[in-house]
A and B are shown apart, each in its own frame.
Chain A
Amino acid sequence: GDSVTQMEGPVTLSEEAFLTINCTYTATGYPSLFWYVQYPGEGLQLLLKATKADDKGSNKGFEATYRKETTSFHLEKGSVQVSDSAVYFCALPRLGGKLIFGQGTELSVKP
Chain B
Amino acid sequence: GAVVSQHPSWVICKSGTSVKIECRSLDFQATTMFWYRQFPKQSLMLMATSNEGSKATYEQGVEKDKFLINHASLTLSTLTVTSAHPEDSSFYICSAPDRAWETQYFGPGTRLLVL
Tell me the A residues contacting B by CB distance below 8 Å: 4, 36, 41-46, 89, 96-104
In the assembled complex, the CB of B59 is this many whole angstroms from the nearest CB of chain A, namely 8
Asked if A98 and B43 make an inter-chain contact with CB atoms under 8 angstroms apart, the answer reads no
Residue of A nearest to B6 (CB): A43
Specify which chain A residues have a CB less than 8 angstroms from the CB of B107 in the assembled complex.
43
Asked if A99 and B46 make an inter-chain contact with CB atoms under 8 angstroms apart, the answer reads yes
- In the assembly, what is the distance between CA of A45 and CA of B34, in Å? 15
Asked if B43 and A43 make an inter-chain contact with CB atoms under 8 angstroms apart, the answer reads no
- In the assembly, what is the distance between CA of A96 and CA of B104, in Å? 12
Beyond known contacts A43-B109, A46-B104: 4 more, CB 8 A cutoff: A44-B93, A45-B106, A89-B44, A99-B46
- In the assembly, what is the distance between CA of A22 and CA of B11, in Å? 34
- In the assembly, what is the distance between CA of A101 and CA of B104, in Å? 13
> Contact string, B5-35, partner A, CB cutoff 8 A, digits 1/0?
0000000000000000000000000001010
Specify which chain A residues have a CB less than 8 angstroms from the CB of B93 in the assembled complex.
43-44
Asked if A41 and B46 make an inter-chain contact with CB atoms under 8 angstroms apart, the answer reads no
In the assembled complex, the CB of A19 is this many whole angstroms from the nearest CB of chain B, namely 20
Asked if B108 and A101 make an inter-chain contact with CB atoms under 8 angstroms apart, the answer reads no
Tell me the B residues contacting A by CB distance below 8 Å: 4, 32, 34, 41-46, 49, 93, 95, 97, 101, 103-109
Specify which chain A residues have a CB less than 8 angstroms from the CB of B46 in the assembled complex.
98-100
- In the assembly, what is the distance between CA of A89 and CA of B46, in Å? 14
Specify which chain A residues have a CB less than 8 angstroms from the CB of B42 in the assembled complex.
103-104
Specify which chain A residues have a CB less than 8 angstroms from the CB of B106 in the assembled complex.
36, 43-45
In the assembled complex, the CB of B71 is this many whole angstroms from the nearest CB of chain A, namely 14
Q: With A43-B93, A89-B43, A103-B42 in contact, is A98–B49 under 8 Å at CB? A: yes
Specify which chain B residues have a CB less than 8 angstroms from the CB of A98 in the assembled complex.
34, 46, 49
In the assembled complex, the CB of B39 is this many whole angstroms from the nearest CB of chain A, namely 10
Specify which chain B residues have a CB less than 8 angstroms from the CB of A96 in the assembled complex.
49
In the assembled complex, the CB of A68 is this many whole angstroms from the nearest CB of chain B, namely 21
